[in-house]
Homo-oligomer: A and B are copies of this chain.
Amino acid sequence: MINVAIMGHGTVGSGVAEILINEQDRIADAAKEQINVKYILDLRKFDGLPYSEKFIDDFNIIAEDDEVKIVIEVMGGINPAFDFVKKCLQKGKSVVTSNKELVATKGAELIKIAKQNNANFLFEASVGGGIPILRPLVTCLSANEITEIKGILNGTTNYILNKMIVDGMDFDEALKLAQENGFAEKNPAADIEGHDACRKICILASLAFKKHVYPEQVNTQGITNIDLDDIEYADNFGYVIKLIASAKKLPNGNITANVRPTLVKGDNILSSVNGVFNAVSVTGDAVGEVVFYGKGAGKMPTASAVVADVIDCAKHINARKYLYWEDSFNSYVENFDEECILYVCAKSNNYNELFENIISLFGEDISMIKTKNNDGIAFLTKKELESKLMEKINLIKADEIKVLHTID
């Protein structure tokens, strides 16, 4: 029998407790070992539950109990999660977490501590909820050199954009609906400003490229500046707008990483990812592109990924399994100038001048459309180095210019 402790009894934590306690036999079967939830750490009281006697409010009880071999951290945030996880690893306890903020900002440090103390540190649930992605990346794709990772990593923003695209709702209305349906937080900033997707691409890129990518190194843009007109013009060109997080290996060994609203071509599988679903596309030198798709959040999907890590820990309690990467240097993540097609929407009170101006800069044979109030032009550039395109875009005489990236 292996004793475990759960730190945090919120949405994911209560799901983990329910699976481990209610599905004991099935879990024991999969782990080849009985898993016993010895403690649940939470400052709140949960009196009505069948497992109320397991609750404690003092972390030290877990830290000092040598019988507890696996600690599940599902509290979220950095404080006190970081200190607690660090102490557990230092005591040689294995840790399973779903905390993306913790892994994205402190991953390299915690992985090092886990290694030094011969403990497991697993965090499958931190990216893509229940979608298997981190473990396939390190095991099944181990014969590949990973060259690029891109995907839709945030269900809230995908839901909002999808409502705008399919139902013609405006941003505020779609956000309100997402909040009503429990798909967005009361304070939605972390989602709609791209921070959540940023943390996840940091974890994926760190694992794929073996060096820590920190959130502040990633260019991160949210979806708040996307309006229904952009969505309509994009549709007109055969694209849909998605919040795409991406990381790519550069020839010099560095990487480039971005989170930004992006026009995705209609025949790209990512354009078909609707509602709260997530999808992660991984490109390897041998395998080509593989995509992992599913619900990226939610109590039970995320809890099931945490429990799968616990099972894996229990099966290999003496064989060390940690997802591995090193710390990185400052200039590791860089802006990279590469060929791309940009979407540009320019507005001016002198339409004819604007038209002539754009034609003279970008050529006559570009895909373009007059904006709805006849006050501007939306168009796709030809494929060219981004720096060259930006030079031209800066020469457009317009009152207002919006530029978005595209992917085929």
Contacts and interface: CB of A to CB of B under 8 A. Distances in A.
Copies of the chain in the assembly = 2
A95 interface: no
A145 B135 CA distance: 19
A246 to B, nearest CB: 17
A287 B274 contact: no
A136 B271 CA distance: 24
A308 B139 contact: yes
A369 interface: no
A interface majority secondary structure? mixed
Interface in A277-335: 277, 284, 286-295, 298, 300-301, 303-308, 310-312, 316, 319
Contacts of A131: 287, 290
A139 B294 contact: no
A140 B145 contact: no
A124 interface: yes
A308 B140 contact: yes
Interface residues of A, number: 52
Contact of A30 (B143, B294, B295): B143
Given A131-B290, A143-B308, A287-B304, 19 more contacts: A19-B143, A19-B286, A23-B143, A124-B140, A129-B287, A130-B141, A130-B144, A130-B286, A130-B288, A135-B135, A136-B136, A141-B304, A142-B307, A142-B308, A143-B303, A143-B306, A287-B305, A289-B294, A290-B293
A272 interface: yes
A130 B304 contact: no
A301 B286 contact: yes
A273 interface: yes
Contacts of A277: 269
A226 B103 CA distance: 50
Nearest to A16: B143
A132 interface: yes
A135 to B, nearest CB: 5
A143 B294 contact: no
Given A30-B142, A143-B308, A308-B139, A288 B293 contact: no
A27 interface: yes
B143 A311 contact: yes
Given A287-B305, A288-B294, A290-B294, A139 B130 contact: no
A54 interface: no
